[in-house]
Structure 1
Amino acid sequence: MRRKVYTKDQILKAAYEVVEGEGFSGFTARNIAKKMGISTQPIYLEFKNMGDLKNTLLDEICNHLYYDVFPEVRTGDTIIDLGLNYVYFAKEQNNLYNALYVQEYGGGKKMHDFSYKYFRQLVSEHPKYSKLDENHINALHVGSWITVTGIATLMSSGIISPTQDEIVHLLNRAIENVLEKEDTSVLDSL
């Protein structure tokens, strides 16, 4: 009898489904194996350990966000569009959003670093923002991050239901506040 071989992609798909359903609190070899109807052995044949699997999964998710979710054009202003895409991602994929950006053992620093790097790239390529100094870029990131995370969290939990125009207005106010300030140290300390 031939043994069935499980691929890295099949394991990643099951891991993704576990995180999407239960968050990282359910991210165990046993839960992933159960989802696939197998023992945990194939998981450890493909990945060094659960940390390796988690990092690989987060890399896959970051690629998905980078290529498929965050670049969608909605208004033409890349910072506003990124904010809107982040908010809509949180609303449409609430469990995954919470697992990545909110839960204590979720994506954490890796997701923040990915999001900042992506944001930084957008700012450097956009004529409206490309001349900003490092302090203003950091303040712009923090200000817009706080705004969209607040909106995303409140929307995903059903507390508020702003229109796209209302979200754009809130984001523009956050951006204008940062761009008008000479001293960005208040935001830098957050």
Structure 2
Amino acid sequence: MPKQRITKEMVVNAAFEIARSSGMEQVMVKNIADKIGCSVQPIYSYCKNMDGLRQDVILQVNRFIQEYVAAHINKDDLFRSTGKSYIQLAKEEPHLFKIFILHQRQGISSLDDLYQAETNPQLAEIIADKLHISTTHARQLHLNMLIYTIGIGTIFSVTTPGISADEIFAQQETAYEAFLKQALEDNH
């Protein structure tokens, strides 16, 4: 039987699956080799250092999350359903959610930097149009919900046995209503 050729894609995919099921701290050469079914040598040939492999896994996590959110949003209620999809992600994929939230972000020195890096710039205009508020207020509403969703999603992903999704969604809706009320008041 010929030897299986181990590719970088196979290594990254195995590392992603390990991170998905057990967390990034379990992404180790031995675990990757076991997952692929090979010795550690081919893994070392692609992983001069684990930081590079972890960055590749983070990129794959980010792609997965973008696809997940896109598949779970309601186009008629884009803003609120996006937040709900992140909470659903925290429930269904807690390890990926933690990796997404907790990975190091370079070049972020303000909340504005975070907003620019983590959101679609056109979304504030869509929110403004839908809610009949200024783009500035829509952007602030969006940032407030981004911060809130990251926080409550993180709590949701690390609690055992777990807070009910209904309780989390209700709390998220309460926050949305409060932030929206503030945006509407500030808009006038």
TM-score using structure 1 length? 0.71
**Whole-angstrom distance in 2 between the partners of 1:116 and 1:153:** 19
| 1:61-72 matches, cutoff 5 A | 61-70=61-70, 72=72
The alignment of Structure 1 onto Structure 2 pairs a total of residues equal to 176
CA distance 1:114–1:131, shift in 2 (3 Å): closer
Q: Which residue of 1 aligns with 2:57?
A: 57
Aligned pair partner of 1:132 in 129, 132, 135:
135
Task: Decide which structure has greater helix share.
Answer: 2
Match of 1:159, as an amino acid? I
- SS of structure 2 residue aligned to 1:109: coil
**Whole-angstrom distance in 1 between the partners of 2:165 and 2:68:** 24
Q: Which residue of 1 aligns with 2:173?
A: 169
- SS of structure 2 residue aligned to 1:172: helix
Match of 2:166, as an amino acid? P
Q: Which residue of 1 aligns with 2:79?
A: 79
- SS of structure 2 residue aligned to 1:159: coil
- Structure 2 spans left out of the alignment, 5+ residues: 109-113
**Whole-angstrom distance in 1 between the partners of 2:40 and 2:85:** 36
CA distance 1:57–1:91, shift in 2 (3 Å): same
Shift of 1:114: 9.1
Q: Which residue of 2 aligns with 1:109?
A: 105
CA distance 1:42–1:177, shift in 2 (3 Å): farther
Aligned pair partner of 1:179 in 176, 183, 188:
183
CA distance 1:75–1:30, shift in 2 (3 Å): same
Match of 1:8, as an amino acid? K
Q: Which residue of 2 aligns with 1:97?
A: 97
Shift of 1:109: 2.1
CA distance 1:70–1:36, shift in 2 (3 Å): same
CA distance 1:97–1:141, shift in 2 (3 Å): same
